[in-house]
């Protein structure tokens, strides 16, 4: 990821970043629509499921269910933007790439892409 990276411009996330206090979150969910469903339950079934104010749930609306989509977000500067707005993140929960699973597991290229995502997170958030 050497060289100048483009500025992240995803309007949904920029609005989301601006409406949440800087540094509020310590945990981030990134990936599948399964995480997005947790938001739905928090909004519609608060007696059963309460949203945790320390968790930034980025699942379900980023197109981040596929490893390639997460890599595209990273290449657009998503993690840098996230780090600028939520520098206190300490843990990431990733759920992506289930569409790549076969009876034999993930392909070598999918594993390499997954590793790239993890390494990119470690670069932007070395304490996570």
Please indicate, yes or no, if residue 12 is contained in any of the structural domains.
no
- Mean pLDDT value across residues 3-13: 62
Please indicate, yes or no, if residue 9 is contained in any of the structural domains.
no
Total of domains in the chain: 1
Q: What tokens were used for 10? A: 């995803």
pLDDT tens digits for range 33-71:
677 677 766 777 777 677 778 888 877 655 556 788 888
What pLDDT is stored for residue 5 in this prediction?
Answer: 54
Please indicate, yes or no, if residue 45 is contained in any of the structural domains.
yes
For the chain, give the percent of residues with pLDDT over 90: 20
Domain that holds residue 79: 23-124
For the whole model, what pTM was predicted?
0.78
Residues contacting 39, CB < 8 A, separation 6+: 51, 57, 59, 60
Higher-pLDDT residue of 123, 31 = 123
Please indicate, yes or no, if residue 60 is contained in any of the structural domains.
yes
Please indicate, yes or no, if residue 4 is contained in any of the structural domains.
no
Please indicate, yes or no, if residue 1 is contained in any of the structural domains.
no
What pLDDT is stored for residue 110 in this prediction?
Answer: 87
Please indicate, yes or no, if residue 43 is contained in any of the structural domains.
yes
């Amino acid at each position: 990821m050497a060289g100048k990276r483009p500025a992240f411009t995803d309007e949904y996330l920029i609005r989301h970043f601006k409406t949440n206090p800087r540094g509020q979150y310590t945990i981030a969910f990134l990936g599948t629509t399964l995480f997005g469903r947790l938001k739905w339950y928090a909004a519609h079934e608060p007696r059963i499921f309460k949203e945790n104010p320390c968790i930034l749930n980025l699942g379900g609306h980023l197109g981040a269910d596929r490893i390639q989509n997460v890599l595209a977000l990273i290449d657009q500067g998503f993690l840098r933007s996230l780090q600028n707005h939520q520098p206190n993140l300490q843990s990431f929960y990733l759920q992506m790439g289930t569409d790549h699973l076969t009876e034999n597991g993930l392909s070598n290229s999918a594993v390499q892409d997954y590793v790239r995502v993890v390494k990119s997170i470690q670069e932007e958030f070395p304490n996570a």
